[in-house]
Amino acid sequence: MTPPVTTLAPEEAVQKLKYYQKGTFTVGNRLVAEEQRTVQASQARSNALTCGHRACQGCGEALGARYAIDAAMRATNNNLIAVNATGCLEVFTTPYPESSWQLPWLHSLFGNAAAVATGVAAAMRVKKRPEVRVIAQGGDGGTTDIGFQCLSGMFERNDDVLYICYDNEGYMNTGVQRSSATPPTARTATTPVLGPEPGNVFGTGKSVPKIAVAHNIPYVATATVADLHDLERKVIKAMSIHGARYIQINVPCPLGWGSASHDTIRLARLAVECGLYPIFEAEHGKVTQVRKIRRKVPVQDYLKLQRRFAHLFKGGHEDPRIARLQAICDANIAEYGLVDVTGRDG
């Protein structure tokens, strides 16, 4: 088998780098050595999701997919097949009669991407083409809700598929409805800001990354479009492993979240820095690495930039549900050890 090609340094080296600009955390490729730059910074990138697609301005999913798939293309010497669930990514990349995909790509249904990918992987095995690898991808609706059964089956059989979930916390393609990944209190079209409990309910939550870890699959990671170095590294690492793998990427959706297009990266970063979206890696059922919070922020900083949470800030008094959201953040911070006890600041 051809070894995966990567010019990225081992993860330790990347982690120690201070390649972000002070205050903004912006990725500065020019500040690091050439071999440590992102795949995306290279002219040799595959542009697997090429220009001309119909994503909204500031779309986190388009950005995440571009980075993830190009990194996977690099890792597999372009021997990659992608299976796509129905959703924004599928619709905005393939408006009839065009396609933005520069790799073999198959869309079947909303809820079966994991199973279809299993079939493609099985075909590659039987056709004796071990160099060809398979990715399945979908949004949170297609992954954590309607595609969940197929996903769990693929995990449990340890099929040789990397499943990437672009998590924008709702059914954005159908007009912003609630999914099981929608955070409590968030306004969606099916959780309107009405009545005594406006917005989404405080349920028990559903962490599909944790559920993936509970399957003891070889590799699970969460990632964010706020840290594209980390995202690429995780995709490349995932492609170096065989068996079922899962990466969930937090991808802000300006349309669905009611945020400014230019705030996509900022929101993705704030989601991590407030503790609401823990970034971690797990191998074979054990968490192996967490991305520490560089500068902890209160959850309000994250909520305030989004119209889906605007009702929490009306009426002059502090909505008690903000504290409940903060409690979720704090529980994440405690569970994953996101803040060093010595206190860590960028």
Q: Does 153 interact with other proteins (rule: CB under 8 A)?
A: yes
Q: Does 244 interact with other proteins (rule: CB under 8 A)?
A: no
Q: Tell me which of 38, 118, 168, 222 binds other proteins, using CB under 8 A.
A: 118
**Spatial distance between the Cα atoms of 329 and 15, rounded to a whole number of angstroms:** 23
**Nearest CB to other proteins, comparing residues 108 and 177:** 108
Q: Does 152 interact with other proteins (rule: CB under 8 A)?
A: yes
Q: Does 326 interact with other proteins (rule: CB under 8 A)?
A: no
How many helices (H) and strands (E) are present in the chain, helices listed first?
12, 8
**Nearest CB to other proteins, comparing residues 60 and 87:** 87
Q: Does 61 interact with other proteins (rule: CB under 8 A)?
A: no
In the complex, minimum distance from the CB of residue 254 to other proteins, in angstroms, rounded to a whole number: 22
Choices 30-38, 83-91, 137-145, 169-177 (CB under 8 A): range interacting with other proteins: 83-91
Counting Cα atoms < 13 Å in the Cβ hemisphere of 303 gives 25
Q: Tell me which of 156, 197, 318, 340 binds other proteins, using CB under 8 A.
A: 156
**Spatial distance between the Cα atoms of 312 and 300, rounded to a whole number of angstroms:** 9
Per-position DSSP letters for 42-90, written without gaps between them? STT---SB-TT--PPTT-HHHHHHHHHHHHHHHHTTT-EEEEE-SSHHH
Q: Tell me which of 105, 163, 246, 336 binds other proteins, using CB under 8 A.
A: 105
| Sequence-distant (≥ 6) Cβ neighbours of residue 290 within 8 angstroms | 278, 279, 280, 281, 336, 337, 338
* Nearest of 219, 333, 320 to residue 276 by alpha carbon: 333
In the complex, minimum distance from the CB of residue 62 to other proteins, in angstroms, rounded to a whole number: 16
List the interface residues with other proteins, window 157-186 (CB under 8 A).
157
Q: What SS3 state is found at 288?
A: strand
Asked whether 70 and 48 are in contact (CB, 8 A), the reply is: yes
**Spatial distance between the Cα atoms of 243 and 154, rounded to a whole number of angstroms:** 9
Residue 6 C-alpha from the chain's centroid: 21
Q: Tell me which of 127, 317, 320, 345 binds other proteins, using CB under 8 A.
A: 127
**Nearest CB to other proteins, comparing residues 6 and 112:** 112
Q: How many residues bind other proteins (CB under 8 A)?
A: 44
Q: Does 1 interact with other proteins (rule: CB under 8 A)?
A: no
Q: What SS3 state is found at 248?
A: strand
Q: Does 67 interact with other proteins (rule: CB under 8 A)?
A: no
Q: Tell me which of 27, 32, 116, 249 binds other proteins, using CB under 8 A.
A: 116
In the complex, minimum distance from the CB of residue 290 to other proteins, in angstroms, rounded to a whole number: 31
Which residues here bind other proteins, judged by CB under 8 A?
Answer: 78-81, 83-84, 90-91, 94-97, 99, 101-109, 111-112, 115-127, 132, 149-150, 152-153, 156-157
